[in-house]
Amino acid sequence: MVSRAGAVGSDVGTLTEQLIAAGYRPIVTPVAKSSDQVRLTGAAMSPKLVEPGDLFVAVTGARAHGADFIDEVVDRGAAAVLTDPAGVVKVREAAGYRLPVIEVAGVRDAAGPAAAVIYGTTATSDPALFGVTGTNGKTTTTYFLRSLLRAVLTPQGRKTGLIGTIEIAAGEERIASEMTTPEAVALHKLMHSFREKNVAAAAMEVSSHAISYQRISGLYYDVAGFTNLTQDHLDLHGTMEEYFAAKADLFRRSRTRTSVITVDDVPGHQMAAEATGHVVTLSTTGKPAQAHWEVTDAEPAGLGSAFTLVHRDSGERIRTSTALPGAFNVSNAALAAVMVLEAAVSGERRQDFQRHDVVEALETAQPFHIQVPGRMQVIAEQPAAIVDFAHNPDAMIRALEAVRRPSGRLIMVIGAAGERDVTKRPTMGAIAVRMADHVIISDDDPHGEDPAEIRAGLLYGARDAIATGGLTTVLEEIAPRPAAIDAAVAAAGPEDTILLAGRGHEVHQDVAGTRVEIDDREELTRTLQARGFNTLDGGA
């Protein structure tokens, strides 16, 4: 297939015309009659990332306005500025009329479409985008997506991409990720980089923050998938209704060609009802739901599960499996499978995704037999020692159900992030003592909050649950986290299970602005080996 990379760049006049066509009503303050011909070869939102020829997108931040740094971006070679009315005043006061200024009312919303014009991003340009949103399961589902896409596209000589919490990857080239979804201008620059690197399809986590802050503005998704919706991020959204509305914005016809919605609960059914465009539903619980696709015949297969995908209308049956434990990973794998299957039969890219190739990969290539960093990651088997990112009530329940074995005790280390939704802390503490036999409450990422106060919120819910439920759960408070991990291993026997929850793949803690190096996976491995247990990396 011929690549649709296209040339990078636009002049101010063309950019302004495109913004007008999109309804942004820009006002251009020129420096001369030739301002429309000023050439833009890139875009940046951070002053430190501005390069010669860039459009500098100056937005209002938490502590300052981007236009406060206009002297720096002029020195760096910015060719023009996109900003709001307040930014225009700041630019003119500091820089006079040295460069054109494009004024829009909603600069953060317009940043994506502006960058799309400059970098050549369109609804049919490579890569094909597969976006995943929901409270839990985004990371695992995107890793499953990339693995399946790789199985289909690699024989064609095409590459796959990944954008998410853990990393950004183009083929085998990996870049550390600092946020689940980068800012809009960075995303469009990344899309152009993907095209240059022959990336035909990319899987992307889409957080509610990214949607609310317009980071995905100007992007168009071939397929978007929905996992689930449970309490989280209420520090940003305030209510579950607002949280739902943010997620639902991804599934508009103007943003996504095909929506695949998991309808295992009430929010899923609501999301399917509100989505516009081509909507495909998926049921993964084994309960009749009249969904387009359903998971049936799920059964244990090693640590993971084998299952069948059945299409309601055609009766087609596809047998596949995942190596990751837990029913929720069956849901994640099924969502990834249906998203790629639907991409093969709809939209502009049938030549990229031959359906028979997708079915063959699902049935024979084991695309979901991969390790996802910090997601139900097994470190040892005797005792079973697992690291997971579960950091909200629903994810904790799913993780605890997945690791509970018929015999032996379940020992859990849990904390909570500071400066985040405080209302979930007592609930998390209560869940931990109800479902585990031994709970150690420690620290996660305190940020600027007092770690003892964070632990107190978890302890309050845990102690109340023990008292009211007559539980015999062992409850301890141990900090710092390495000491808690050591205590968990010291308490475990070969038949027991240790679950470190909350941090997953993260490799440092933020404690009052100080970076404290700690990786739960490495710490658990080291502690197990020190106490004479074998780990899966071969150490003892």
Q: Which residues are annotated as a binding site?
A: 134-140, 180-181, 207, 215
Binding site for ATP, residues?
134-140
Whole-number Å distance between alpha carbons of 44 and 73: 10
Q: Would you mind telling me the total number of residues written for the chain in this entry?
A: 540
Kindly state the DSSP code that residue 391 receives in the 8-state scheme: -
The sign of the torsion formed by the CA atoms of 131, 136, 139, 143 equals negative
| Cα 526-532-536 angle, rounded to 5 deg | 60
Question: 10 Å Cβ neighbour count for 437?
Answer: 18
CB 65 within 8 A of CB 90: yes
Determine the residue type at 387: V
Whole-number Å distance between alpha carbons of 422 and 413: 19
Whole-number Å distance between alpha carbons of 92 and 351: 51
CB 510 within 8 A of CB 447: yes
The sign of the torsion formed by the CA atoms of 28, 34, 38, 44 equals negative
CB 362 within 8 A of CB 335: no
CB 182 within 8 A of CB 194: no
Determine the residue type at 133: T
Q: Copy the structure tokens of residue 89.
A: 């005043």
What is the rounded radius of gyration, in angstroms, for the C-alpha atoms of the chain? 25
| Cα 468-472-474 angle, rounded to 5 deg | 115
| Cα 240-242-246 angle, rounded to 5 deg | 115
CB 96 within 8 A of CB 109: no
CB crowding 469-478: b at 16 or more within 10 Å, else e: eeeebebeeb
CB 174 within 8 A of CB 164: no
Whole-number Å distance between alpha carbons of 454 and 236: 18
Please report how many Cα atoms fall inside a 13 Å half-sphere around the Cα of residue 124, on the Cβ side: 9
Whole-number Å distance between alpha carbons of 160 and 147: 9
Whole-number Å distance between alpha carbons of 372 and 140: 6
Give whole-number Cα distances, 227 to 79, 117, 267, 307, in Å. 42, 31, 10, 18
Whole-number Å distance between alpha carbons of 467 and 65: 51
